Amino acid sequence: MTVRRDRALLWYGLAWWFATPLVMGYLLWRSWRQPEYRQGWAERWALDRGELSGSESQTSQGSLIWIHAVSVGETRAAAPLVRALLQDDPRRRILFTHMTPTGRQTSVELFGDRVMRRYLPYDLAWTQRRLIARLKPALILIMETELWPNLVNEAKRAGVPIALVNARLSEKSLRQGLKRRGLLAPALQQLDLVQAQSQADAKRITQLAPRALEVLGNLKFDHTIDEAKRALGRVWREGSVRPAVLIASSREGEEAALLEAVLRHPQADAVQWWWVPRHPQRFDAVWALLASGATVGRGGAVRRSAGSFDGERDEAWMVLGDSMGELAAYFERADVVIMGGSLGAFGSQNLIEPCAQGRAVLLGPSTFNFALASELAIEAGAALQLDNAEALVNQAIMLAQDQPKREAMGKQGMAFTHQHQGATARTLAALKMAGLLT
């Protein structure tokens, strides 16, 4: 067991102490648009009594597996692994820790009371020490990129094995990490196991901190489609007379750029446009934008949350998907998907899910969070990459009106996702081989 007592960790802890008032201010600022940020403050400093939501898991007598998934993407990525862990041993108790309310809500939607959940405390040594002592986990799994030095150090101090699972590191994140190498590299080297998504991720991780690791693929390819949501999407398709283009998981600034291109296109009214912003706190702002654009002259707008949705949905030109947990339904309704996060400099959201549902996918220029998956999807003919909003809208309209081509892309997408499945089984086997799971 290696426990750090270095100067970098000391300064890091002091920085957290001095930053605490700023962090509190940040939470209050976020709560102005998303009131859920006012909840769970005691959890964020490990000052709560330790109650965990998720009653079914609390009745189990098995070992506790603690999975840290910062937000929505990491929580959804962890879902296949959680199912495999519970299938392998139904007595296991699973705890999710999150940093965002939307991540926490996603674990509720995916697993309900079958797992427990709470916020991860901010990374002060005493907060992590207090929570670890209270929970006594058998294993801590960190999803993808969330490496907290004091969490790692206190886990090692308590003799709790800790692993980085489905790890990825973009070139941008590597550049940022190298600036804090004295803090992050020792934390990486303390981990009992690191499992990278790809050889490129593995190379970047070892540039940050030389160590042994395994390349096991991306858990997101093992995503299970919610068949109830898929059926809902088919209902939405039934009465429609126009093909649908879905802008999925869009980020700030992307809707305005794409809507401007839509309004300029002479054939845009041949398509129904569905918009699903990534973050719920932006639903109202995007609705105002779409409602204004829809009045320019080609039809009205309706939002999923409106009581008139079912009656107005088929005739509307613009549809806002302002609901959580229904992305599979929106993908099923769509004929073409423009992947959000790829037009702005956000690195793209998860293109694997629409490919798995057989949808033609369009990507903007920014895909660093899904670099390998994007490259493979493009090579397979499942996705196309364009440079700007106008090109994305032009291509989306062309595909929406070319059924054979978009269906061919959809078939390639399903084949592409099927070809790269299996990371969950490999991850579970590797955890057992390393002696981290019994």
Cβ neighbours of residue 77 closer than 8 Å, sequence gap 6 or more: 69, 143, 144, 166, 218, 219, 220
Quick one: residue 91, left, alpha or beta (phi over 0 = left, psi -120 to 50 = alpha)? alpha
Q: How many CB atoms lie within 10 A of CB 226?
A: 18
CA distance 230 to 91: 31
Number of Cβ within 10 Å of residue 134's Cβ equals 13
- How many Cα atoms occupy the beta-carbon half-sphere of 18 within 13 Å? 6
| One-letter amino acid for residue 312 of the chain | E
Please return the burial class of 237, using the count of CB atoms within 10 Å of its CB with bins 0-12, 13-18 and 19+: middle
Q: Is 353 an active-site residue?
A: no
* Residues 167, 394: Cα–Cα separation, whole Å: 35
Task: For 94, list phi and psi in degrees, rounded to 5.
Answer: -115, 130
Q: Report the distance separating Cα 395 and Cα 282, nearest Å.
A: 26
Q: What are 338's strand-pairing partners? A: 247, 362
Q: Cα–Cα distance between 218 and 356 in angstroms, integer? A: 14
Is residue 216 within 8 A of residue 232, CB to CB? The reply is no
Catalytic residue selected from 74, 254, 332, 353: 74
Q: Which residues are catalytic?
A: 74
